[in-house]
Structure 1
Amino acid sequence: MRVLTVVLSVFALVFGASAVASATQVRPLPQAHAHNDYEHTRPLLDALDHGFTSVEADIYLVDGQLLVGHDPEDLTPERTLQSLYLEPLHKRVLANHGKVYRGKPVAFQLLIDIKTNGVAAYTQLDKVLRQYPFLFTRYVNGFVLPGPVTAVISGDRPRSLMESQRHRVAFYDGRIVDSTDLGPGSDARLTPLVSDNWTKLFTWTGVGEFPAAERDRLRQIVSTAHKAGQRVRFWATPDVPGAARDAIWTELRKAGVDHINTDDLAGLQAFLTRR
């Protein structure tokens, strides 16, 4: 019996260690963005297990707390930005000696979408983010100091307030359509990311050939952003598994779009890994 117990213990240790190793050795995917990440069974953690390097959380300011959810009826007191994202990221970076993923440092983005009451929500968010002094990329008196995680503010974001800050721990998500955020006229130290609704710019939904003029427009947007040191993301791209979605993702990847938007973590991981 004692021999059997020892054998089983060794078996458990070996295979347990293998499971931990496989979990920590996941391949980071630079283009993978988890849209509505908080709707997964394990917010943030599921995305990390699939190698995602960008996650998105919607927040509301409620009684001084930053609560995570898509709509007001989804909010509960225990689902705070700190509990779902900031504390787990902080612990992970400490455990990985200053990195989100073990091995070579990989840029990681936390996209925070303020749903309402932008100035008040951002003011509280700014206070909360500063409680993690070694976690976030910072802007200090004209210089960007890289950190393991870059927080970017989307949604109801108060641009004038953010522009006025000489010391920031978050950055601004610009727009592509009807804005001056894209390209050399903008400042990547404030707006390192530009995002927009795919359907405002393109008619193609992945069915049939990608119109040549639209393909050229996509590549011109990416080229213009990259020349200014900006990254590009589109939302509202088709996200139902199938040939149309794969066609869209293929064009986004080829064009060099920095963040491919999805709710299907396993699907995008498989797509990017195959390539």
Structure 2
Amino acid sequence: MIRRSLAALVAVCALLAQPAAAYAGSGHRVTPLPQAHAHNDYEHDRPLYDALSHGFASVEADIYLVGGQLLVGHDPGDLEPGRTLQSLYLDPLADRVRANHGRVYRGSALSLQLLVDIKNTGAATYAELDRVLRDYRRMLTSYRFGRVSPDAVTVVISGDRPRELMQAQRVRYAFYDGRSADLNSGAPASFIPLISDNWNNLFTWQGVGPMPAGERARLRQFIQDAHADGQRVRFWATPDQPGAAREAVWQELLDADVDYINTDDLAGLEAFLRANEVAAAA
């Protein structure tokens, strides 16, 4: 009896140790984390799947237009044939959305943000991306003649963004990633739904000691202003090494109601956000 009980316990522990994405690829065992953004997601062992197994609501992919293909990688030397935006992100997401009855996370209305960072030939790369996205339009949030129709996946364009080209489109399957200069500019959320910027361009505090009162007030005002215009906020280059400084910055961001916390450490941010969920429910 003891041996059988021990064997059952071991089996249960082994099952729980499996990544959540292993469950039929549906992610139905994962509660999504709306504020979790996977920076340079493609550098993980399993692009997209690792982020989804941790419940991330936003993933980032850098792309280059090479030989007519949208190749994913941080630098030209990282590019490999076959590692395309379609194979790493769009096709797996389409399969997942079909399996989950129209959603990325089963039972959740959350729209996954796919942040696509254009690394070369901005207008030409975007034109090819626009052509490709039309094949996936059934799962994509779209802009049509002044109206936004939310769907399972929302594509936002960062990096070398051809602003005038995108603004001129009457039908779009992607949106524009703004910067701090776009805050309070009157640009509509139907074009710029996201405001992103380098943390170090705006703040000096790196998580050591209390956050200066003036910087805390500036952070909160920045986020409030964006939210007043229906825009979300993300900062990159925040401290990302495990430790008290990183957690202090993350906590200030969370307390200020930031929309996305940027990280390369999927497990670390998941643990932090889950702990905050538990504390908030207590």
TM-score (norm 1): 0.91
| One of 20, 38, 63 as aligned partner of 2:23 | 20
Corresponding position of 1:108: 112
| One of 111, 131, 135 as aligned partner of 2:135 | 131
Corresponding position of 1:228: 229
Corresponding position of 1:266: 267
Q: Structure 2 CA distance, aligned partners of 1:111 and 1:62? A: 19
Answering whether residue 199 of structure 2 is matched by residue 195 of structure 1, we say no
Answering whether residue 93 of structure 2 is matched by residue 99 of structure 1, we say no
Task: In structure 1, give the amino acid aligned to 2:271.
Answer: A
Corresponding position of 1:55: 59
The alpha carbon displacement at 1:20 in A equals 2.6
Aligned residues: 261
Task: In structure 1, give the amino acid aligned to 2:267.
Answer: A
Listed as ranges, the gaps of 5+ residues in structure 2 are: 1-7, 277-282
Asked if the contact 1:34–1:265 (Cα under 8 Å) also holds between the matched residues in 2, the reply is yes
- Change over 3 Å in CA distance of 1:126–1:241 after alignment to 2: same
The alpha carbon displacement at 1:135 in A equals 1.1
Corresponding position of 1:5: none
The alpha carbon displacement at 1:104 in A equals 2.6
The aligned runs of 1:126-275 (5 Å cut-off) are 126-176=130-180, 179=181, 181-183=182-184, 185-275=186-276
Task: In structure 1, give the amino acid aligned to 2:118.
Answer: I
Task: In structure 2, give the amino acid aligned to 1:130.
Answer: R
Give deviations 1:6-27, integer Å, cap 9, x for gaps: xx9xx89xx6999738953111
Asked if the contact 2:97–2:103 (Cα under 8 Å) also holds between the matched residues in 1, the reply is yes
Give SS of 1:133's match: helix
Q: Structure 2 CA distance, aligned partners of 1:185 and 1:218? A: 20
Give deviations 1:81-116, integer Å, cap 9, x for gaps: 000000000000000000000113112100000011
How well do the aligned residues superpose, as a CA RMSD in angstroms?
2.0
Q: Structure 1 CA distance, aligned partners of 2:204 and 2:186? A: 27
Give SS of 1:160's match: helix
The alpha carbon displacement at 1:184 in A equals 5.9
Give SS of 1:245's match: helix
Answering whether residue 49 of structure 2 is matched by residue 45 of structure 1, we say yes
Q: Structure 1 CA distance, aligned partners of 2:27 and 2:133? A: 27
Give deviations 1:180-234, integer Å, cap 9, x for gaps: x213612100000000000000000000110000000000000000000000000
Asked if the contact 1:183–1:227 (Cα under 8 Å) also holds between the matched residues in 2, the reply is no
TM-score (norm 2): 0.89
Answering whether residue 94 of structure 2 is matched by residue 90 of structure 1, we say yes
